[in-house]
Amino acid sequence: QVVHKTMGFALPFIFQQNKNYSNPDGFMFAKIDDKSFSLEQLAPDLWRVKMKIKDNAKCAWCVENETLLHLFVECRETKMFWQKFIQKWGGILNINNLTSTDILLGVLPRGENDVNKILNHLIIMGKQHLSLVRSKGRKPNFVEFHYNVKHVEKLEKDIALSRNKINMHKRKWDAIQMG
């Protein structure tokens, strides 16, 4: 695992609690006790990592067991987040809902347009937001997420301008009319 600067010590380790590979609920988050985590560099590219896994596997936002499916799809807080996502971009992107498959694996192409590129990008950013706020002990916040989307669009626009690829950027982002 890589220690991500913005996530600090709340790393989303995932482990399989049983041998049922076909069941997405078979994968649980390992919650790490922040006080027990230590990371020591012994040599270049050699690290000693010590941590204690917490016994409680409950969702940070409700009382259910926290699985990947629960975190990204089934939790009531997550459902509210995706409902706001649909309210914001559903009409523009011509989607009425997102299935658990859409959220977990992405949306399949629907023709020759670039709509799915931005939709899949937004879904990935949504899952990143859910994971990040969970690791920081906060609930999903769509306003914060939308701000982050605007920030990423601006960064990509600056990169596109510097590389003379602004038309490619516009094809991707104009679908959701950022502004």
134 versus 4: which is more confidently predicted? 134
Res. 76 pLDDT band, cuts 50 70 90: very high
- Quick one: pLDDT at residue 5? 38
Distance CA 69, CA 28 (A): 9
Distance CA 157, CA 163 (A): 10
Distances (CA, A) of 95 to 10, 21, 63, 86, 125: 34, 31, 31, 7, 17
pLDDT tens digits along 84-142? 999 999 988 888 999 999 999 888 766 556 688 899 999 999 999 998 898 888 999 99
Lowest-pLDDT range, 20-29, 34-43, 92-101? 20-29
pLDDT tens digits along 47-57? 677 766 555 67
What does 72-106 look like in DSSP terms, one character per residue?
IIISHHHHHHHHHHHHHHHHHHT-S---HHHHHH-
The helix (run of H) or strand (run of E) holding residue 10 is none
